Amino acid sequence: MTTGDRPVECDRLAETLRGLRTRTGLSLAALSSKTPYSKSSWERYLNGKTVPPRQAVVELCELAGERSGRPLALWELAEAAWSGRAASGRPAGTATAPVRTSPPDEAGGEAARRLRPGTLAAVLSAVVVVAVGVSLAAVGVFGTDGDAHAGNAPSTPAAAAKGCHGSGCTGKDPEAYGCGVAPPPQTLRQERFPGGTVIKIRRGAVCGAVWARIDLGKVGDRVEIVVPRRAPLRTVVKDKYDAQGAISTPMAAATRDDLTQVRACLVRQGERHCFGTGAAR
């Protein structure tokens, strides 16, 4: 499957890498200064124009404080699709070896010679698909959440292992702690702004916390989530990658009584636009 001329596996990897880069809080220049890869190289990796080296994925995971298992599984898929190995059925780094044919008196020799090349290729491809599927299942790539951005976050069991709930979630990334994964977060309210920008007030019931998410913002936009009796928490659209996707503020603990008084604010070009979930509107 492809998106335009690019395999969809590459788009999924690029989306995950952008999520990790957002989590680091680093600009492309800063990312380049902390890794062996140039700013222009990171631009290509994050935009899905090319598949990065495996080590680049490892280093980005380290900077983001994320385990590398799932991103590397996605890298394997993207690299195989990009290079064409997914269609040929050959694992990475393997050369084509001569096929030994058995004489007629060896067991199965006659049947093996009757196996057509196309059938053999299909069998090899199926083996690769099964092997990759097992690897992905082991690192939790396949989830049950329907949120388009859930691919950037660990599963709910990982969040539970970190002990994030209520006040323990305040100031933490909802994606990194699985609060935006399963069950899917509830959108308490959303508002649209010029340029296609959408601000959502989201609630993770399992984590007992809320946050604001901005979709298709503009570079320089600041988004805040405000809960009664708590300091505002905010994030900033730093570059075009943030602007092309969605980024979230840190979470703020919110009781059921708080839910009708939560506010989100967009600060754009010095102007402040706020809306709320109920009485605070």
Q: What's the pLDDT tens digit per position in 50-68?
A: 899 989 999 999 888 888 8
- Residue 125 CB neighbours (<10 A): 16
Sign of the Cα torsion 114, 118, 122, 124 reads positive
Cross-strand bridge partners of residue 213: 200, 248
pLDDT on residue 26 = 85
- Considering the chain, what is the average pLDDT of its residues? 75
Q: CA triplet 28, 155, 50: central angle to 5 degrees?
A: 35
How far is residue 10 from each of residues 44, 50, 65, 133, 235, measured CA to CA in Å? 11, 8, 22, 17, 27
Percentage of the residues of the chain whose pLDDT score is greater than 70: 68
175-191 pLDDT, tens digit per residue, is 777 786 667 889 999 99
Half-sphere exposure in the Cβ direction for 19 (13 Å, CA): 21
pLDDT on residue 84 = 76
Q: Quick check: 131 pLDDT over 70?
A: no
- Mean pLDDT, residues 156-164: 46
For 163-184, b where at least 16 C-beta lie within 10 A, e where not — what string? ebbeebbbebbbbbbbbbbbee
Residue 6 binned pLDDT confidence (cut-offs 50, 70, 90):
confident
Residue in 248, 239, 188 with CA at minimum distance from that of residue 218: 239
239-261 pLDDT, tens digit per residue, is 887 887 788 899 999 998 999 99
In terms of pLDDT, which residue wins out, 152 or 228? 228
**Cα 182 to the center of its chain, rounded Å:** 15
Which CATH number describes the domain made up of 166-276? 2.60.40
* pTM of structure: 0.49
Distance (Å, whole) CA 41 – CA 6 = 17
Residue 36 binned pLDDT confidence (cut-offs 50, 70, 90):
confident
